[in-house]
Structure 1
Amino acid sequence: MAAYYKGDEQPQFSSIDGTAAQGSQYGMKTTTRSSFLSFHAFGTACVNIYFVLLTAVAVVAFVLGCYSTDRVRSIRVTDALLVSNPQAVPAGYSVFSLGTGLGYWSPAAEMRYPRSDHGVISYNKYAYLVGGLSVNDSNTGGVVLRSVVQYDTETGMMANMSNLPSPRYRFAYALLNGNIYVMGGAEVPDGKPQNTVFVYNVASNKWSPVGQLNTPRIDACGAVANGKVYVFGGYDADLHSLASVEVFDPASATATAAGTWTQLPATSNLQVSRGDCRAVAIDNIIYAVGGSEWFNNTKQNCSGNWVFCYRFLNSVEAFDPAKNVWSFRAPMISARGDFGIDALPGGRIIVAGGERGNGTHNSMAMYDVEEYIVEHDIWVQKAPLPEARFRDDLAYASGRVYAFGGNPSCDLTPNASCMVVALKTVFAYFDVQYPRLYASYKPASVNDNS
């Protein structure tokens, strides 16, 4: 079992939700009140000095970064300031988060076998690893999984739970009231999209069917808002990206009927069709992030290389279930599809890894990690993954973010090479707390000296 740090083993880090650890957790000896107060005052002063230095260094790095291009430039800056809300910055100013690049990844206990195109759902201290694609016994191709594994994020221990009713990968999922919904997906490698939906009750460890989707879909997004389950986007049987949205109300299910999925009108469609997307909900607003969009390329034939007919997206859309409409939010820094995502405390979203293209090939794995701050509608780059991956997934549990499995860079998609190189590694992300400050500047002029 690979070693991993617990939140209370690294005093220089706090848990990602900002909860401070008590001194007794670090084995501090009992001391007198006066000496404790002296120590406390000294420690407070050190922390204040640290944050002042951190801010100063970040500002210097930011200013120097403004000069770092492939050409020598002479920039005259007329105004520079620090702000706590980037939306308050005047028009024409550039904004840079002082939290850029912060965080730390550490190896965690590996999964028992490689897994990609799976779902990871956090519930209390556990991450539930559902379905996915692994390698067959002869190491020559892929096998779609039925297995469900309960991963204890505090100990790294794993337990097998009840299997899916049928093998499933490339599905959408959502968690509502202790029930995990698995929507659509495929049953065999490169199989056709399914319309079946299963629900897993964590408490009873049992699966049940929950109606059928109106549109079979793979690589779709799922989320929960206002007590209802939503599925949207994905690909159809021709691998064209979808924009349609369906909703399930658990109240429609009875003892004799599984319930009904309702397709929303076209006015509630995503503004950009997208498959290989990811979604989370914060305060009952659903965020559809990234993915890949199919387009009709009249100049290139896609049959030999999908890169000619799909574009990776950095766009983000927010869905308000009270109005049944989508609106754009700030785009990610880097376009990506097939990445990991989860919601964080404090109105934040984290994405890690993903697939990109280089103009001639897709299936290029990414290291990049970004955090979205809902209040400020801004994406901030965080510490990169130690190992590039796509078709991975994330779970926030025990005050940490865990990245599970996925694929490294492989050849064209689809092919067997991606199946046989799936990862079983797991990494835990520790957040470094910092003042939520932004540097902004407005150059008066830019003179090229190249």
Structure 2
Amino acid sequence: MKLALKNRLNKGSTNMNLINDLKLNYKLLYLAITVILTLTLISCGSKETSDSQTISDESDSVLQTDTAREPLSFEIGQAMESKRDRFALLFLSNGNLIAAGGKEVGMQAQSGNFNRTVEIFDPVTNQWTFTGEMKEERMSPVLFELPGGNVMVIGGLSGARDPLISTEILDSNTGTFSMGPEMIRSHNEMGAVTLNDGRFMVIGGSSYDEDAGFQVALSKETEIFDPESGTWTEAAPMSERRANHSVLILNDGRVIVIGGGKTDGPYLKSIEIYDPNTNTWEFGAEMTKGRVAHTATILSDGNVLVVGGKGKLTLAEIYDPNTDTWALAGETNKSRGHHAALLLADGSVLVTGGIGYLTEAELFDPNTSTWNVVGSLNTGRIRPAVTRLSDGRVLIMAGVGKDGMLASVEVYQD
């Protein structure tokens, strides 16, 4: 009896030990599963974070939008008569616009058909109208209004792909062209500016070396046209050879030349300043970045805002000609090159278009040195032309769209 009871007790103890062992094993199994699930979730979370970071690195940053003002509205305007890229545009003293030359067909820089047509925009009738055709096809010419209202078309690249030495004069009364006085040398992709005394200056660009018999991509030569004598005179050369640079007349009458270089590099950081009174050049302080296909805009205070350029640049800079110093001016939300910039009536600067067929329009506030996206163009475009009419309308014209050259125009009421 005692032995049987002892055996039952031993058996019960063994069963209890088995139960305890099973409970322990279940606890260990539960703990193991919990650890595995936790590690799996951490791993998944890390992968998700990594993937999100990769997407963020490959995409543009969040656009800074100005919520304090109404978005700018860009309306479809009256289209030009001809598609144009790399054309010349001039605001005339009678309030009209004139557009000349450019490229009509062909996406590559020197391919396709160049244009010899010229058209006039009348803001009163809101119409573009063809006037006479030039004697030569011209891409990237420049325009100068002569006393009396005639217009001179200068240089550029010919249909034969040679820099041009010739000029042509449009008779504003008859709408016909005649050949004008030749420059001293050919100029394409040059800078040009009207001096305060009424003379017209052409600066650098690609040229044709008559002595060597071949084109040079960059030149430092400059020349000045005097409308009173009707002649070109050689001016002092720059220190550096330049093409695709920007040129402005400063408030004190000096000429500033900014950046430039070959389209595939290198790009110049340097600036040079010309004094028409002494016919001399001097270097100014260098920019932070070398720039080609950038814009330069005179601000209301006389300083110069430089924006963008090839190489996906977002950093903007402001030059003070009184102190010969540069200051950083924020970063655009989109990298810009081959874009357009225009000073508005309130002192802000509107930037539109650019490489990538950008539609986003940005506004620079000089009081805060900040950039904000303020609206969208209807058509993304590279190398648009932009101007502000006397009635406050801002016209953004032509250039290159995803499907080729554009004739379309967009209008913003400033």
| TM range, smaller chain | 0.5 to 0.7
Instruction: Identify unmatched segments of 5+ residues in structure 1.
Output: 1-69, 71-97, 254-258, 295-305, 410-419, 432-450
Amino acid at match of 2:411: A
Note if contact 2:297-2:342 (Cα within 8 Å) is conserved in structure 1: no
Distance in 2 (CA, whole Å) between partners of 1:333 and 1:202 is 43
- Establish whether residue 223 from structure 1 lines up as the match of residue 200 from structure 2: no
TM-score by length of 1: 0.53
- Alpha carbons of 1:426 and 1:167: their partners in 2 closer, same or farther (altered >3 Å)? same
Partner of 1:395: 387
CA distance in 1, matches of 2:219, 2:133: 29
Q: Equivalent of 1:146, from 101, 116, 135?
A: 116
Q: TM-score, normalised by structure 2?
A: 0.57
Cα distance in 2 for partners of 1:348, 1:152 equals 32
Q: What is the alpha-carbon distance in structure 2 between the residues aligned to residue 349 and residue 103 of structure 1?
A: 26
TM-fit CA distance, 1:218? 1.0
* Counterparts in 2 of 1:220 and 1:380: CA distance versus 1, 3 Å: farther
Change (3 A) 1:242 1:331: same
- CA drift at 1:293: 0.8
> Is the alpha carbon distance of 1:160 and 1:106 closer, same or farther for their aligned partners in structure 2, counting shifts above 3 Å?
same
Equivalent position of 1:61 in the other structure: none
Work out which of the residue numbers 266, 271, 279 in structure 1 matches 2:247.
279
Correspondence list, 1:323-342, <5 A: 323-324=278-279, 325-328=281-284, 335-337=291-293
Matched, 1:241 2:218: yes
Structure of larger gyration radius: 2
- Counterpart CA distance in 2 for 1:287 and 1:234 is 15
Deviation at 1:327, TM superposition (A): 5.0
Q: 1:367 to 1:192 in 2, by over 3 A?
A: closer
User: Equivalent residue for 2:276?
Assistant: 321
SS of structure 2 residue aligned to 1:288 = strand
Distance 1:235 1:250, change over 3 A: same
User: Which residue does 1:426 correspond to in 2?
Assistant: 409
Letter in 1 for 2:242: R
Residue 102 of structure 1 contacts residue 383 of structure 1 at CA under 8 Å; is this kept in 2? no
What residue is the counterpart of 2:228 in the other structure? Answer: 251
- Mapped contact 1:314–1:336 kept (Cα < 8 A): no
Counterpart CA distance in 1 for 2:289 and 2:397 is: 22
Contact 2:166 2:183 in 1 (8 A): yes
Q: Which moved more, 1:383-392 or 1:213-222?
A: 383-392
TM-align CA RMSD: 4.3
Aligned counterparts of 2:270 and 2:409: Cα–Cα separation in 1: 27
Residue 180 of structure 1 is aligned with which of 148, 151, 157? 151
Percent identical among aligned pairs is 20
CA contact (8 A) 2:84 2:398 kept: yes
2:84 is aligned with 1:130? no
Show CA shifts across 1:248-303 (max 9, x none). 112223xxxxx3x221233xx2x44321234343554434344x314xxxxxxxxx
Judged with a 3 Å threshold, the aligned counterparts in structure 2 of structure 1 residues 275 and 356 are, in CA distance, closer, same or farther, namely same
- What's the CA shift for 1:193? 0.7
Distance 2:228 2:268 in 1: 35
Structure 2 unaligned residues grouped into runs of 5+: 1-56, 58-65, 209-214, 314-335, 349-365
Distance in 2 of aligned mates of 1:194 and 1:200: 17
Distance 1:162 1:347 in 2: 38
Please give the secondary structure, in 1, of the residue aligned with 2:266.
Answer: strand
Q: Which residue of 2 aligns with 1:24?
A: none
Say if 2:199 and 2:227, in contact at 8 Å, map to a contact too: yes
**Aligned partner of 1:293: which letter?**
G
Q: Secondary structure at the match of 2:169?
A: strand
Question: In 2, are the aligned partners of 1:351 and 1:370 still within 8 Å (CA)?
Answer: no
Partner Cα separation in structure 2 for residue 109 and residue 316 of structure 1: 38
1:20-66 deviation line (CA, Å, top 9, x unaligned): xxxxxxxxxxxxxxxxxxxxxxxxxxxxxxxxxxxxxxxxxxxxxxx
1:174 positional shift: 2.7
